[in-house]
Amino acid sequence: MLKNKVPWPDQMGVARLLRESRVLPRRFYVRDTETVARELLGKILVHQGTAGRIVETEAYLGLGDLAAHASHGLTQRTRVIFGPPGHAYVYLIYGMYQCLNLVAEPDGTPGCVLLRAVEPLIGIEIMRRRRRAARRPEDLASGPGKLTQALGITLSDYGADVTRGVLTVRALKCEPPFEVAATARMGFTDQADRPLRYIVRGNRFVSGARVRGA
């Protein structure tokens, strides 16, 4: 459906992107986590002169979801997950990578969406500089750690309100159609439960796209 002709050079200018999109309002996030995760696909993540189209997400639920950080209750690290929606939950993984989540559900109810991959749209030269290891466009942001590295998102963005400020998520006024596929979440062996990973079907910027078909 969607041809990913795409970007080594930027696909669209910043000005045009801002003109043709709007920031997602808080009410977008005040829904169940799975819905938010699914609907975040196709939206644009913007941070400091770089932007990418979200093509892969994972839903992490509340107390019943043993894979979710929030399942162990409210702690210093996870407190933002229990707070108002539309905020960033960033955490350090393996001592060297950072993962970006967006908080969903009403205030007081835990739930967040891990952003796992974006299709680079703007600031690609900046992304290349930040990600020296990336040999191809597909390597720039096709994983949660790569994504934050490419867009320059760090722990200092913890708690940031993504409905205003330097880190935002925007919806294109004219969003191209695409198909959503749901799979098991990555990194878990005991994943016999519901498929909570969502991807834009056929998109080459999804993590692991070269190892699987999806």
Partner DNA sequence: AGTTCGATCGCCT
Partner DNA sequence: GGCGATCGAACTG
- With CB under 7 A as the contact rule, the residue among 40, 55, 112, 162 that binds DNA is 112
Minimum CB–partner distance for residue 146 and DNA (Å):
4
Report d(CA 36, CA 42) in Å as an integer.
12
| Bridge partner residues of 199 (DSSP) | 56, 181
Per the CB < 8 A criterion, the answer to whether 142 and 6 are in contact is: no
Task: Determine the Cα–Cα distance for residues 177 and 185; give it in Å rounded to an integer.
Answer: 24
Is 94 a binding residue for DNA by CB under 7 A? The answer is: yes
Residue from 92, 106, 166, 210 in contact with DNA (CB under 7 A): 92
By CB under 7 A, residue 93 contacts DNA: yes
Out of 39, 56, 58, 119, name the contact with DNA by CB under 7 A.
Answer: 58
Q: Which of 62, 145, 195, 202 binds DNA (CB under 7 A)?
A: 145
Stretch of 64-72, 119-127, 163-171, 193-201 contacting DNA, by CB under 7 A? 64-72
Rounded alpha-carbon distances, angstroms, from residue 14 to 11, 47, 56, 126, 144: 10, 11, 22, 14, 23
Q: Which of residues 10-49 bind DNA (CB under 7 A)?
A: none
Among 3, 5, 108, 133, binds DNA (CB under 7 A): 133
Residue 154 as a binder of DNA (CB under 7 A): the answer is no
Would you tell me how many other CB atoms lie within 10 Å of the CB of residue 23?
18
d(CA 55, CA 206): 6
H/E segment holding residue 130: helix 124-130
Least distance between DNA and beta carbon 90 (Å): 10
Q: How far apart are CA 52 and CA 118, in angstroms?
A: 5
> Measured between alpha carbons, how far is 89 from 157 in angstroms, rounded to an integer?
8
| Alpha-carbon span 8 to 95, nearest angstrom | 30
Residue selected from 1, 76, 174, 190 as contacting DNA according to rule CB under 7 A? 76
Assess 101 for contact with DNA (CB under 7 A). yes
Site for DNA in 160-189 (CB under 7 A): 185-188
Q: Which stretches of the chain bind DNA, using CB under 7 A?
A: 58, 60, 67-70, 72-73, 75-78, 89, 92-97, 99, 101, 112, 114, 131, 133-134, 139, 143-147, 185-188, 207
